[in-house]
Structure 1
Amino acid sequence: MQAISALLGAYRAEVGLIILAIMFVEFVRERYSPTVISVLGACTYAALGLIDEKGLFSVFSNSAPLTIGAMFVLAGALIRTGTLNRVADFIMARAEKHPRLAIAEVMLGATAASAFLNNTPVVVVLIPIIFKLAQVTGVPVKKLMMPLSIVAVLGGCITLIGTSTNLIVAGIAAEQGMTPFGIFDIAPYGLAGMVVGLATLVSLSFLLPSDPPAISGEDGGNAQDYLTELVVPHDSDLIGREIGSLTVFGRSAVLIGLKRSGQILRGDLSGEELHRGDRLIVRADGTAIMTLREGRQFELGIAADSETSASEGTVIEAMIAPSHPSIGERLMDIPFLHALRVRIIGINRARHLPGPDLADARVRGADRLLIAGSDDAMRALRDNPNLMGVDISRTRAYRRNKAWIAIIAMAAVILLSALDIVSIGLGAFIAVGIILVTRCIDAEEAWSAIDGDVLVLIFAMLAVGLALEQAGSVALMVGWITPVMQAAPAWTLVFIVYFAALILSELLSNNAVAALMTPITIALADQLGADPRPLVIALMIGASACFATPIGYQTNALVYAAGDYRFADFVRIGVPLNLTVGLAVCSMLVLLG
């Protein structure tokens, strides 16, 4: 034991680098998630005494991960209040009138939104819109899906809150004594990269694949879309109004038919006037159905008697068991509908919607139902052996009347931090308090909006970075690099840091790379007598602007799956983009730095 202690005492720096090398190998092998590898690495440093207990727990005082968590919650509030959904609906309305122009608007809008919101939810919201745009314009979906990720990444490089990577680097830099970064301090360099990146993307668009995705049945609808029906009550003030004047329809609730006097009308129904008892056949996601339920303009779904209302009681989700005796029968004839006071307000089926309407949909195994009813009825459904996974629906209605609060809260964070009145972290935390107390989002939903995997990864890598400093590994690496760098012109430092971060981030987690490289970059700048600020900005953008692999950035992985791309598709477009964006950013840093 003494021999091991003596060995660690004599070769602390070298042992620290060996552990780091093993972590990098495991990152590349991907046998475990990056978060697991990072936690195990931090634990190894602690177990070997390469980081002391005080240092290990000091990483939890770093403001960057907590600020990122707060920004996740604010983005969740914009989703919960239907703000992003309304924006998406507006885009689709524009696409129907000016389809070609809508493509440019979507791409520029994604760029702008990603500068101030986490770009992952932005891309998630826009993926189904891209499918619709491809249908309307006739442009192959693969020529639009990858550019969506690219513009989202470019937008995230414009402001300090555009990506979690920027906040991590800024937080570590501030702890190392650098002047704190403002929200728009990196904007000139991010904008330079964005302009050149967009120009490169347009000029290389002929290299984007044009073959259709192999994913069948993908029409831009959500995999969680339900078939439902909106019944016009006999005393409704909507009677006599044209369907086209209704505001309930959009991207998340699409009218697909009108059932009147036993007949189903299809096609363009915008000019049809509503009659009492009309049943509007609608494809909608769960959130839209719950919003319609709370609106109470229509009665939802089907029931055995007209006295059972969907707006009363609770809503549960249930799956039809393969052994259900009603398999192949009409949904209207399912036994529990007649035995209990419930309404079926939606049915979901993998790959496609059932039909032709809710009542006549033929029941299949694994169909998912949304059912509204009293607590007694819900207990009876839980005891039904022919239903699986019966539980209270976690889907909630949009809180559209709170949208203005969420918008103002997010705008205030951006404005106050830009004016240097409060820091980004403090502003974000105050905004979180406001949206919670005004119930823009419930506490449970707010915490679920936080990507815990990202935060654990960041904390673990901060610990690894601090361990490398305490063990002397950072000083050792800087000592190796410094003689080589002293012979190179000063301006080449920016290029070296940028492309080193870029190459590593194409293979590993960009947040992990940022946490590791920041202290090394600052130490190298101090050793060479160079200004560390341009180098830190180069690291920020270089660790995020990764286009050459589908694992280089999270949004790349999203569109990789949605668009059914090949790995080579990213390489073909991404490598030129990496070069041109990197040259633009680094040149601007040299000129202005």
Structure 2
Amino acid sequence: MMLPGLHAASAMVLAIAMFYGFINGRLRVEIVSLLTIGAIALLLYVLPMPGEDKYAGLELAFEGFGHYALVTICSLMILGRGLVVTGALDPAARSLARIWRYNKSLGLLFTLVVCLFMSMLINDTPVLVLMIPILAQMAMRGGMPASKTLIPVNAAILIGGMSTTIGTSTNLLVVSIAQDLGMRSLTVFHFTPIVLSAMILALPYLWLVMPKLLPDNTRTVSVESRRFLAKLRMAQESPVRGKTIEEVRGIAADDVTAWLPPGNRGHVGRRLLVEGTYDGLRETARKMSASLAPTWLVERINADSGRTGKDLMVAEMIVAPDSRLIGLTPSTAGFEGIAMLGIHHARQPLRDTRQHSPDATMMEGDVLLMMGMPEELRQFAQNEGLLQIEGSEEIARSGKALLAVAIMAGAVGLASLGLVPIAISALSGAILMFATGCVRFERVGRALSAQVIVLVAASIAIGKFILVSGAAAWLGGLLSSGLQYLPPAGVLAAIMVFVTMLTNFASNTAAAAVGTPIAFNIAQQLDMPAEPLVLAVLFGCNLCYATPVAYQTNMMILTEGDYTFADYLRSGIPLVLIMVAALSTSLVFWYGI
């Protein structure tokens, strides 16, 4: 076989260098991506392709930033962000928690299935972000250790994301590159049945086997969340008004203690004193149709937020020694523009004579749980001598949850029916998220990932360079010479394993960019239809279970589960083998090859 030409060899060297940069980890992913783009631009400027001028290389190197695939990926990130910040996913989280309390094994199975189907339409990362605190909380309440559930749940999310064209940015990238090469357009659920058939074989492994392969890394000393004293103001229609305190305690969240205010005997009226974590207090207030701050104040703050377009935040603030608030009670402090949701009493060096009540006087070291707009919270802390603790939490705009769900459903539905391309429907959905206030335009940076943007742009550039330089044809010929003796299922499995190895030790987007044009050339060499081979590349890019560096969600659970590299290998390699066998067989059956 002839040696590759100069440009083809250069394309392969650049691809290998990019993979090495990702594996090495000394440079950030976005730096490696930008260096790759710059190297392509410089090379083709100095040594233009035959028949091209020196500026054509610049267009090839930078066209990824304007590619419709990148626009689609960014739009889907914004749609996913809208579901998160409006709290649209919270009901699913509450349902999971109830099932876990009923039965651990059933809870894990239900969680795996729910995560799998959620990640078909929502980006993998928001789904995992939602699940991590739920699984950690279930572990603290006597459920399965988080180290035995996080990897299986993450794998289920990755399998679900693999099953639709919009499930992950990698899927969109593969489909977009394939369409640029001449393959027909695929609908959102085009290959979902293929993945679901493989999932039927993988699910028992995820549910029953994988947790047993993982260690119990439950820490002997768990970090307790700060508990706050608070006062619930019951709405007129509250279901607990008139009930006994014993009945109300059965309704409150598990970690919340409730008692009646002084002088109030017998049944619950307009007020109820409670103590618990912020999450527990918030959940209790939701169940009881109550508010943690005066209703009129909350309504005014919400109105100010809606008028100015600023998000509401919840922040913890420590009372400093020189604070004006020392010796005052929350009712006499005269808070304006912000609301106090609860207070954590600091332990005093001498005997603390204060009542165990949210109405007690404030002392040095107390922690206040405050709600308001960011600027108002900062100004309040500065004026009152408070130290704001890092890690403020954004309040979900729950009033827009149904609207966010409707926008997401409309964007996905239009593309699924083939009425408009996903690029148009996703962009339209993102615009509606901004127009309706589900996502603040000035906060769009929280939805978009700069790392993903430059990684996708670099992947498109290297994929295009590999194609036009002749590297794809040369590699395709090399691989097809070895694959021509295999049956179709073996060809598909070999391609899948090749791409899977690249994915688990480098980047799935880079593996997609390299693998897709190679798959097209192999199809031509072996006289096979290109579509199943392209799907083999797509599936291989998603089989990133075997190393922590394979995908960003793998890294997210590394610390949470206290995992080692060996934990991923031990539990992930069997799953990769199951999926490769099941997917390659399903592709042969589905396409009749």
TM-score bracket for this pair, using the shorter chain length:
0.7 to 0.9
1:472-527, Cα deviation, whole Å (9 max, x unpaired): 33333334434334454454321121001111111112122112221222133223
1:545 paired residue among 543, 556, 559: 543
Shift of 1:171: 0.7
Q: Match of 1:39?
A: 34
Report if aligned partners of 2:148, 2:214 keep a CA contact under 8 Å in 1. Answer: yes
1:116-515 alignment runs, 5 A limit = 116-136=121-141, 138-202=143-207, 204-205=209-210, 207-214=212-219, 216-217=221-222, 227=228, 229-232=230-233, 238=238, 240-242=241-243, 256-261=256-261, 273-285=267-279, 297-298=290-291, 300=293, 309=297, 312=300, 324-325=320-321, 338=333, 341=336, 343-346=339-342, 358=358, 369-370=369-370, 379=379, 381-382=381-382, 387=387, 395-400=394-399, 402-515=400-513
Identity in percent: 25
Distance, in Å, in 2 between the alignment partners of 1:332 and 1:95 is 44
Shift of 1:133: 3.4
Distance 1:483 1:320, change over 3 A: same
Shift of 1:335: 11
5+ long unaligned stretches in structure 2: 49-55, 305-311, 346-354
Distance, in Å, in 1 between the alignment partners of 2:506 and 2:364 is 43
TM-score normalised to structure 1 length = 0.80
Report if aligned partners of 1:436, 1:443 keep a CA contact under 8 Å in 2. Answer: yes
Report if aligned partners of 2:86, 2:404 keep a CA contact under 8 Å in 1. Answer: yes
Shift of 1:195: 1.4
Report if aligned partners of 1:134, 1:144 keep a CA contact under 8 Å in 2. Answer: no
Q: Match of 2:93?
A: 88
Distance, in Å, in 1 between the alignment partners of 2:458 and 2:105 is 46
Q: Match of 2:350?
A: none
Shift of 1:558: 2.3
Distance, in Å, in 2 between the alignment partners of 1:118 and 1:209 is 26
Report if aligned partners of 1:474, 1:519 keep a CA contact under 8 Å in 2. Answer: yes
The one-letter code matched in structure 1 to 2:175 is: A
1:22 aligned onto 2:17: yes
Shift of 1:130: 1.7
Distance, in Å, in 2 between the alignment partners of 1:118 and 1:215 is 34
Shift of 1:88: 0.8
Report if aligned partners of 2:317, 2:387 keep a CA contact under 8 Å in 1. Answer: yes
SS at 1:300's partner residue?
A: coil
Report if aligned partners of 1:100, 1:137 keep a CA contact under 8 Å in 2. Answer: no
The one-letter code matched in structure 2 to 1:530 is: M
SS at 2:89's partner residue?
A: helix
TM-score normalised to structure 2 length = 0.80
Shift of 1:394: 6.9
Distance, in Å, in 2 between the alignment partners of 1:377 and 1:579 is 53
Distance 1:236 1:515, change over 3 A: same
Shift of 1:74: 1.4
SS at 1:48's partner residue?
A: helix
1:99-132, Cα deviation, whole Å (9 max, x unpaired): 5433321121111111121122112111222233
Let me know the Cα RMSD of the aligned residues.
Answer: 4.2
5+ long unaligned stretches in structure 1: 1-8, 266-271, 302-306, 350-354
The one-letter code matched in structure 2 to 1:105 is: F
Q: Match of 2:515?
A: 517
Distance, in Å, in 1 between the alignment partners of 2:440 and 2:63 is 30
Report if aligned partners of 1:228, 1:300 keep a CA contact under 8 Å in 2. Answer: no
Q: Match of 1:590?
A: 588
Distance 1:590 1:375, change over 3 A: closer
SS at 1:128's partner residue?
A: helix
Which segment drifts farther, 363-372 or 176-185? 363-372
Distance 1:373 1:71, change over 3 A: closer
